[in-house]
Amino acid sequence: MSQESLIIFDTTLRDGEQSPGASMTLEEKVRIAKMLEKMKVDVIEAGFPVASPGDFKAVKAVADTIKDSTVCGLSRALDKDIEAAGEALKGATAARIHTFIATSPIHMREKLNMQPEQVLDHAVRAIKKARQYVDDVEFSAEDAGRSEPEFLYRIVEAAIDAGARTINIPDTVGYTIPHQFGELMKNLLEKVPNADKAIFSVHCHNDLGLAVGNSLAAFLNGARQIECTINGLGERAGNASLEEIVMAVRTRQDVFPCDTRIDATHIVPTSRLVSRITGFPVQPNKAVVGKNAFAHESGIHQDGVIKSRETYEIMRAQDVGWSDNKMVLGKHSGRNAFKTRLKELGFVFDTDDQLNQAFQRFKNLADRKHEIFDEDLLLIVSQTHENPEENTYELIYSEVCSETGETPNARVTLKIEGQEVTGSASGSGPVDAVYQAIELLVNSQTELKLYSVNNITRGTDSQGEVTVQLQKNGEMVYGHGAHTDIVIASARAYIDALNKLSSMIKRSHPQYDGI
Ligand code: KIV
Ligand code: ZN
């Protein structure tokens, strides 16, 4: 078999953002997009421009910034959606409009209230309209995994005739099984008469944990684009994860005779950045990017790896961006060493101002912590670009008194929209006391759904990384905070979540919103 190219289409900024609580600001989206570009992702789906003014601006900002990847905007098969996508993508070096309509009996009947012929007409009209803005048009038959194959062949043929260059076959509800999904792809390529005029793509959800398996089965049967997300983020159980797809293909070249353009050394830093921005922690045993993915606990395994790495490792940790150089910098390290190490880790600063800000954070941390590990550096960088001036709440000061046999008490000063306010409260522990004091000042009426602390590196001087999940009126957000003092980390995480709630733009979710 000859070596083929597999197109990697990343939808972290669109489907990934549809994970409840994973909303991102415009600036955060641009940062992630730049990392994806650096990683050499072929297509970046930047959002759904018609969904809200915030989504429109974010797609536009990504389109105006990214030069080496195609930037894609999602649209339903509606004129206003396509117009918004066309407008938002105007500044892109390479732009794609991705238009979709549901094709399964249940979606057509219950959601769209349309006959199959009407759905086909809408699809054709939408593709022709999208072609007025860009040459690169992708059509998705939503819920293709549960669609009648005969109808799917017809609509795909019509979509290609109308000008779609990429045909995406989504398993929208994660229902299919690899051998069935592979068969569906094979049949499409055989039975659609003009199939050779388009690239076939897949977009698999992970409801049964089969998203990566289904995507790879589709590749083996002719799909040449896979849609995926960093850390497998996405609606419900998420999408196929980019890191797993890329490394499966690279590691098992005997099975998948193809390659991607991806520079895999950026995978771990990008995974960290996405986790930090969305507040979704990466589970320790997650393939490729989990912190245990290359850890060997049992003596037999450790012994084997020392003798020969390949005994228990099928990939090299460095190839996906894990560093073997664990202890890197300390209090006496200079700006150049700091910048150089970050460059080795895949981070290049856009401006001197960003470098100075990050270096200042590094110095502050080095004052409290003897050894600065790569994990600490990655965290420093992911905090550097945050825009404090856009935040409603800022933590100015906190003081906690916690004594054996006494009720802990906290005093907190916040800046709320420019005004400093101070409050005190007691709680069942120091963290609870701080949260009570913040609530006294903010009265957010949110519900704390999750609180968790993780040490970033080893040792008692490690930074603690706190994640909180807050819920209000059905909206859910995650907040993140890190510090060597876990009470301060906790306060930061809570305030981060409050800021996200306060700046949250209500987004609509296209799949469940009519056509
Ligand atoms: O899951 C899905 O069907 C989608 C489409 C919009 C491609 O996200
Ligand atoms: Zn999806």
Whole-number pLDDT of residue 324: 66
What is the Cα–Cα distance from 423 to 51, expressed in whole angstroms? Answer: 39
pLDDT tens-place string over residues 225-265: 999 999 999 999 999 999 999 999 999 999 999 999 999 99
Helix, strand or coil for residue 138? strand
Out of 10, 15, 108, 235, give the residue to mutate to test ligand 1, the one with the largest number of ligand atoms within 8 Å of its CB.
15
**Protein residue whose Cα sits closest to atom 2 of ligand 1:** 172
User: Residue 386's pLDDT band (boundaries 50, 70, 90)?
Assistant: low
pLDDT of residue 289: 95
Phi-psi domain of 241 (left: phi exceeds 0; alpha: psi -120 through 50; beta: other): beta
Instruction: Look at 38-52, 113-127, 318-332, 448-462 and tell me which has the smallest mean pLDDT.
Output: 318-332
| Residue extents of the structural domains in the chain | 10-23+31-261, 322-384, 388-503
Pairing of strands 393-401, 372-373: unpaired
DSSP summary character for residue 282: P
**Ligand 1 site-directed mutation target among 100, 107, 508, 513, most atoms within 8 Å of CB:** 100
Look at residue 274 and tell me whether its pLDDT is greater than 70.
yes
> How, if at all, do strands 95-102 and 43-47 pair?
unpaired
pTM of model > 0.75:
yes
Quote the strand ranges of 4-119, DSSP E: 4-5, 7-10, 43-47, 70-76, 95-102
Residue 75 is encoded by which pair of tokens? 């649209």
CATH of 10-23+31-261, one of 3.20.20.70, 3.20.20.100, 3.40.50.1100, 3.30.300.30: 3.20.20.70
Q: Which atom of ligand 1 is nearest to the CA of 74?
A: 6
Name the closest ligand to CA 167. Answer: 1
Please tell me what DSSP assigns to residue 97. E
* Distance from residue 294's CA to the centre of ligand 2 (Å): 30
Tell whether the model's pLDDT for residue 381 goes beyond 60: yes
Question: Bigger pLDDT: 330 or 384?
Answer: 330
Determine the Cα–Cα distance for residues 461 and 242; give it in Å rounded to an integer. Answer: 34
Residue 222 CA: distances (Å) to CA of 63, 218, 252: 30, 6, 17
Reported as a pLDDT band with limits 50, 70 and 90, residue 342 is confident
pLDDT over 60 at 69, yes or no: yes
Which two tokens mark 60?
A: 């536009």
388-503: CATH number = 3.30.160.270
The residues pairing with 203 across neighbouring beta strands, listed in sequence order, are: 170, 227
pLDDT of res. 187:
98
Per-residue pLDDT tens for 2-11? 568 999 999 9
Q: Which residues line ligand 1 (CB under 6 A)?
A: 15, 100, 140, 142, 168, 170, 172, 203, 205, 511
The model's pLDDT over 387-435, given as tens digits with 9 standing for 90+, comes to: 666 789 999 999 999 999 999 999 999 999 889 999 999 999 999 999 9
Ligand nearest to the CA of 171: 1
